[in-house]
Amino acid sequence: MDKIRVAIMLPGKPIGGVGTIIKKLTVGMHLEGFDAELLVLSEKLLKTLASDISNINRLKMFDAVIYGGSLPLPSSLLIREYVRTMLFIHGYVRHERTFAIKHGGLNKKLSALARSILWQTSMTSHRIDKFMCICKTACEMSGIRENYILLPEFILPGEERCYERLSKESRKDSHENKDATKILTYTSYARSPRLLSTQHVEHLMKMVSRQVNKKVELIIINPQLKTEALKPIGNITIRYIKPLPRVEFLRLLANSDLFIELNIDEELRDSTVEAALLGIPVAKLTHPLFKERCDYKEDDLIQVYSFKELANKISEYIRNIKFYYDMYSKALRDFILKHRTWNNVKRQLVEYLKET
């Protein structure tokens, strides 16, 4: 029996959370016996569109095409009679592009406008056979309320052992021996209402500084940062830094005492999954509207539903870190290994691709 051939399209370099999950998806497809091919297009939209059009005859040779990056390329309008088409939605598409059109520079405005036109054309022509989202809220906030499957952030078989080894090699001092409690968070390339902003995090730290006497170092990794900065707030020091090479980031994460997840819907981002695998406790504010959609328990991480409660819980954690650290470290890692492995999340996608 011939293998099912799947093309996975990625507009732009495979960097950030989108690039990570797309690369993992390609590996997952191979593990399931699919003949999967990752096609990385230019990060410049005009070159992406030109490459996409030139690939049409090639794409017709596949059994399915998955469009990543939340971008339904023009080929999806022309190959559906031959190929099953899927669109992988990674965020709040409409909100992010509207923000770029209103507040971005000229190039970003034009790119976001063109992407919005492609999106609207695809939606009105009904040329996508199935949508795929990282969580239910991402689909709904992008106007997709049916005909979708979920594929949350996941780990591949054996990945947990790599993180365990890295954790042992990287961790220098226990939190009990440090001069300051080290907190880490990671912002995004995209401006989205689903993420707490750096201003939110600053305000959060001001609230925490009023409740704890210990020294705290907060490191904010910001992909949009142009100049690194240091900002003291009482007993708390905030460092703004640019993205690090992957190994350096993971070593920094492994030596942190707490990671703050900035996403406020039910999704756990890739950096949060990595923190869990390294045994680093996580704090997360979830909007009350999405509370029932969370498949993780409040004991798995510092999970709260109001900004004030987040400040209180982080303050309590810092004051009693010796008690809480091991508890949260084990709980979230156990959750990821039980609910966020490829074998736990793949079923809907694999079954759909194998349908005749």
Report pLDDT for 97: 82
Q: pLDDT tens for residues 166-214?
A: 998 877 655 555 778 999 999 887 778 889 999 999 999 999 999 999 9
Give the containing element (helix H, strand E) for 326.
helix 321-339
- Given a cut of 80, whether residue 103 has pLDDT beyond it is no
Report pLDDT for 310: 97
Class (C level, CATH) for 159-339: alpha beta
Q: Crossing angle for the helix pair 270-277 and 159-170, nearest 10 degrees? A: 70
Report pLDDT for 207: 95
1: confidence class by pLDDT, cuts 50, 70, 90: low
Mean pLDDT comparison of 143-152, 165-174, 218-227, highest-scoring range: 143-152
Average the pLDDT over 236-265 and give the result: 95
Report pLDDT for 172: 63
Domain 5-155+342-354 matches domain 159-339 at the CATH topology level: yes
225: confidence class by pLDDT, cuts 50, 70, 90: confident
Q: pLDDT tens for residues 59-86?
A: 999 999 999 989 899 999 999 889 999 9
CA nearest 293: which of 189, 152, 192?
Answer: 152
- Per domain, the residue ranges of the chain are 5-155+342-354, 159-339
Superfamily holding 5-155+342-354: Glycogen Phosphorylase B; (3.40.50.2000)
Contacts of 147 (CB under 8 A, 6+ apart): 130, 131
Percentage above 90 pLDDT, the chain: 72
- Burial readout 97-125 (b: 16 or more C-beta within 10 A, e: otherwise): bebbbeebeeeeeebbeebbebbeebeee
- Given a cut of 60, whether residue 227 has pLDDT beyond it is yes
- Range with the poorest average pLDDT among 37-51, 138-152, 267-281: 37-51
Q: Would you say the pTM of this structure is higher than 0.75?
A: yes
Whole-angstrom distance, CA of residue 42 vs CA of residue 48:
5
Contacts of 326 (CB under 8 A, 6+ apart): none
